[in-house]
Amino acid sequence: MSNHIELKGISQSFEINDSKITLFEHLDLSIYQGQSYTITGPSGAGKSSLLMLASGLEQVTSGSSSYIQGSQIGPLSDLRTDSGFIFQQFHLLPELTAINNVALPLKLRGDNQALVKAEAWLNKVGLGHRRDHKPSELSGGEQQRVAIARALVFEPKFIFADEPTGNLDQASANEVANILFDCCLENGAALVLVTHCNELASKAQHTFLLANGQLITKANNTQEVLSC
């Protein structure tokens, strides 16, 4: 049995000015390593919250969540060492060069091959020639490619991406999306991606629409999501 994430009957709500706001209720979602998933829907529907719940970074209001590794069932907190994240804002450290930004997760794990592996991943995303440049010296598309390399350098089993092409022009967005999907496929990682982009959503094996508190499975040829 492959590693996977199980969310069952989950709900998420919060309070503002003594009023309870419910984003969604009683949702089920299974995410398997090696598969790609996109979550689409209108702004404010709770897409990013669902992504954070699936990654174990936020706790569900109700329902159950688990990380299943073969025959072992554990809490989603066990997923943290097996997951990487990519965001709309690149979150690169401005004082570090591209290679040191990519190497950082490995250095924090005490890997003495961090720089060698980081350089290999920069080459994979086509930025080996920019290894010694800082984020301020890179375009938005280049920064996002560095962020992809950083997320994948320690070979996680699951990658979570929140609007990873939202700050990019169309050409850069297409380039980054292709690199992201190809790298996850090559690495055997699951990719769970939140997007408003119809073209990007269609690249995934599984597409969901989150709207009006419901999570609906969508066929890629009938998606009702916004264009880029």
pLDDT in tens, 100-129: 999 999 999 999 999 999 999 999 999 999
pLDDT in tens, 19-77: 888 889 999 999 999 999 999 999 889 999 999 999 998 888 899 999 999 889 999 98
> What would the DSSP string read from start to end of the chain?
---EEEEEEEEEEEEETTEEEEEEEEEEEEEETT-EEEEE--TTSSHHHHHHHHHTSS--SEEEEEEEETTEEE-GGGGGGGEEEEESS----TTS-HHHHHHHHHHHTT-TTHHHHHHHHHHHTT-GGGTT--GGGS-HHHHHHHHHHHHHTT--SEEEEESTTTTS-HHHHHHHHHHHHHHHHHHT-EEEEE-S-HHHHTTSSEEEEEETTEEEEE-GGG------
- pLDDT reported for residue 226: 43
CB 207 within 8 A of CB 37: yes
The CA distance from 228 to 222, in Å, is 16
Q: Which neighbouring-strand residues pair with 27?
A: 10
CB 152 within 8 A of CB 189: yes
Domain ranges of the chain: 4-222
What is the number of alpha carbons within 13 Å of residue 170 lying toward its C-beta? 4
- pLDDT reported for residue 199: 84
pLDDT range class, residue 192, cuts 50, 70, 90: very high
CATH architecture of 4-222: 3-Layer(aba) Sandwich (3.40)
Of residues 21 and 220, which shows the higher confidence score?
21
Whole-angstrom CA distances from 73 to 37, 42, 123 are 22, 33, 37
pLDDT range class, residue 197, cuts 50, 70, 90: confident
pLDDT range class, residue 223, cuts 50, 70, 90: very low
Residue 55 φ/ψ region, left for φ over 0, alpha for ψ in the -120 to 50 degree band, beta for the rest = alpha
CB 193 within 8 A of CB 161: yes
- pLDDT reported for residue 1: 56
Is residue 91 predicted with pLDDT exceeding 60? yes
Other CB atoms within a 10 A radius of the CB of residue 197 amount to 23
